[in-house]
Amino acid sequence: MGIDEFKTISNIGEGTYSEKRSKFLAFAHHVETENDVKDLLNLYHKKYYDARHICYAYVLGSDYLTYRANDDGEPSSTAGKPILGQINSNNLTDILVVVVRYYGGVNLGTSGLIVAYRTVAATAIANSAIEIKQVEEVVTYNFSYVMMNEVMKIIKSIKPRIVKQQFDNTCEIQLSIRKSKAQELRDRLQKLSFE
């Protein structure tokens, strides 16, 4: 995988696990913001209002720096951490894994809980479609209308995605491109300005 790529999931992966009458349901979702996470957690709290615990972990961003693990009342580090561990061992980001636990009346102990949460999170991730995405950067370029053909030639050769364009006497174009190619695009557009 390149320096400007990251792995995420594109569908909802599910997993189930049972141990001593406790039932664990896991759901892996693609998310891009903390608001996405909050919205999904609210849905799970409404849908599984009768569950004893709704634990989760998430990782956001191509730099993998935004993350959180939550035990929701389980003994410290027995739920959120094992879920987060599965996300990290698969090198995934922009992902939320939620595990709903229905208590079966028998305590599993800390090691039993860790195994249960780790196993069910791994199953949900294994049942997800994993895809590699590129880290993109947006390049904005202002130019006069007479330069249009030259700008379009560069776009045709480097193939950035056009995010926004406005053509008038002065034109502005916003291009999204793979991070490793952003500087090349900037340089070639800048060179036009001095020709």
Cα(134)–Cα(148) distance, rounded to whole angstroms? 28
Q: How confident is the model at residue 195 (pLDDT cuts 50, 70, 90)?
A: low
pTM higher than 0.85: no
Between 96 and 62, where is the model more confident? 96
Model pLDDT, residue 4: 81
User: What mean pLDDT comes out for the span 130-152?
Assistant: 88
Residue closest to 7 by CA, chosen among 135, 98, 124, 182: 135
Cα–Cα dist 122/70, whole Å = 17
pLDDT tens, 150-183? 988 998 988 898 888 888 878 899 998 888 888 8
pLDDT attached to residue 167: 83
